[in-house]
A and B are shown apart, each in its own frame.
Chain A
Amino acid sequence: MAEWVEACEVDDVDEEDVIRFDHGGRTFAIYRSPDDAFFATDGYCTHEKAHLADGLVMDDIIECPKHNGRFNYKTGEAKGAPVCVNLKTYPVRVEAGKVMIDIG
């Protein structure tokens, strides 16, 4: 079932960057792509417990700060060792300057 929550303001995330969003004991990563679209994934890398929000966004890739594992943050696809398990993604919509994600 859909559960939309407000993650942040649009201006909280720079272009080609990521921020961390914690909600209900869970951690998410909110991305703003170079073409100004928003995306959301689980906040931790699937390889080891590292916050992806400390990583680097390059085009449609998020690189984990701990072991440089790479994911496509739009699809969650793991792009090769040391990450082998895909990242969970969440639907996102922008309403009145706020970024909403469906964590349901």
Chain B
Amino acid sequence: MAKKRDYSLVGESTRRAIETGLASAEWYHTDVPRKTMKELMQRSDGPAIRDTIIWISAILGSAAGIVWFWGTWWVVPFLFVYGVLYGSSSDSRWHECGHGTAFRTRWMNDVVYHIASFMLMRNPVQWRWSHARHHTDTIIVGRDAEIAVMRPPDLIKAALAFTGILDFRYSLPTLVRQAFGTLSDDEKSYIPEMEQHKAVIAARCHMVVYAATIAVAIALRSWIPLVLIGVPRLYGTWHMVLTGLLQHIGLADNVTDHRLNTRTVYMNPISRFIYWNMNYHVEHHMFPMVPYHALPKLHELIKHDLPVANPSMWHAYREVWPVLLRQLKYEDYYLKRELPPTAKPYRGEFHDLDITAAAAE
């Protein structure tokens, strides 16, 4: 019987991943001429400044609507918009600015990164390092700190994720623990020692803002401060989960080719704005230097070498649902991504071997 997966970052799977060379491995990249890649990687402040102005304006506008219509049913659409902007679109801003690709100007990336981290209740130091690990060892069991759905899948947990309850329950106590100076063994495994004190300081800063928000709410005898700061992480997180779960769910683990463990899904323009084009996720993992606004172009350029993209979120979920059900009984089962005939095969080095010559020796 196959062994159960151990998702801790300091356990048996970790040891095995290091021993077998899965950790920090060389990953497959589609060939793109240097000149073309240089053009795609070019940074510019323009698109992200435009999108950030729209984003902040929409956040402030919907917040004003919440305050104005508080106590009436008219507040509901404003809560809906504010929640998604606060609890979901912050994830893609956190992500792009964490990579430093959204803006050309570094401080702009840093400012948006810290604001978005706060909205998400994520320690900006810890998550910068966990995400670096996620890119080094994408869906390598025992190494990747950001595997959203582990095997066998806990479907109740996955469903509850849409409400933000579990994430809230995890994120807030984590920040409190870190604010008191304690990092877990898993966190220590990917945050370098020289950076660990910064994670504690960042957690304390977040806790000060939350404490101030609670104090203001008590002083005003009003729920509004909490509805605007902190609680949107609960009621607005559903879009982040809806889009983010599809990145890797149901696909292969322990492979060194993003075409097999990552999914690109075509999405509507509103979701793409909220998600900042992270629906082109295979492309992002293969070339994390390419800014979000250039990903559609990169997709067109390399799609001959990638599995066919899912035409919609609905299609992707319909595809993955039976896989999850099967994984409940047999956790090694996964959705095998078919590479098109125009693509290079997985582990091309083996396909390139001259077997007849080797056999003759």
List A contacts of B128 (CB < 8 A). Answer: 81-82
A63–chain B nearest beta-carbon distance, Å: 7
B289 touches A81 (CB 8 A): no
Q: Which chain A residues (49-82) contact chain B, with CB distance < 8 Å? A: 49, 54-56, 58, 63, 65-68, 70, 79, 81-82
List B contacts of A67 (CB < 8 A). Answer: 132, 135-136, 288
Size of interface on A: residues with Cβ below 8 Å to B: 18
List B contacts of A56 (CB < 8 A). Answer: 38, 41-43, 289
A17–chain B nearest beta-carbon distance, Å: 7
A66 touches B41 (CB 8 A): no
Would you call A9 an interface residue if the criterion is a C-beta within 8 Å of the partner chain's C-beta atoms? no
Given A48-B24, A56-B41, A81-B195, decide whether A68 and B101 contact each other with a Cβ distance below 8 A.
yes
Would you call A84 an interface residue if the criterion is a C-beta within 8 Å of the partner chain's C-beta atoms? yes
Would you call B104 an interface residue if the criterion is a C-beta within 8 Å of the partner chain's C-beta atoms? yes
Secondary structure at chain A's binding surface: helix, strand, loop or mixed?
Answer: loop
List A contacts of B135 (CB < 8 A). Answer: 66-67
From the candidates A47, A48, A58, name the one contacting B43 in the complex (CB within 8 A). Answer: A58
Secondary structure at chain B's binding surface: helix, strand, loop or mixed?
Answer: helix
Task: Give the CA-CA distance A70 to B99 in the complex, in Å.
Answer: 11
A25–chain B nearest beta-carbon distance, Å: 18
Task: Give the CA-CA distance A70 to B106 in the complex, in Å.
Answer: 10
A68 touches B288 (CB 8 A): yes
Task: Give the CA-CA distance A49 to B288 in the complex, in Å.
Answer: 16
Given A56-B289, A81-B195, decide whether A68 and B100 contact each other with a Cβ distance below 8 A.
yes
List A contacts of B132 (CB < 8 A). Answer: 47, 67, 81-82
Offer 17 A-B interface pairs, CB within 8 angstroms, sorted by A.
A47-B132, A48-B136, A54-B37, A56-B38, A56-B289, A58-B104, A65-B287, A65-B288, A65-B289, A66-B136, A67-B288, A68-B100, A68-B288, A81-B129, A81-B132, A81-B195, A84-B192
> Which B residues are within 8 Å of any A CB, using their own CB?
24, 37-38, 41-43, 99-101, 104, 106, 125, 128-129, 132, 135-136, 192, 194-195, 287-289
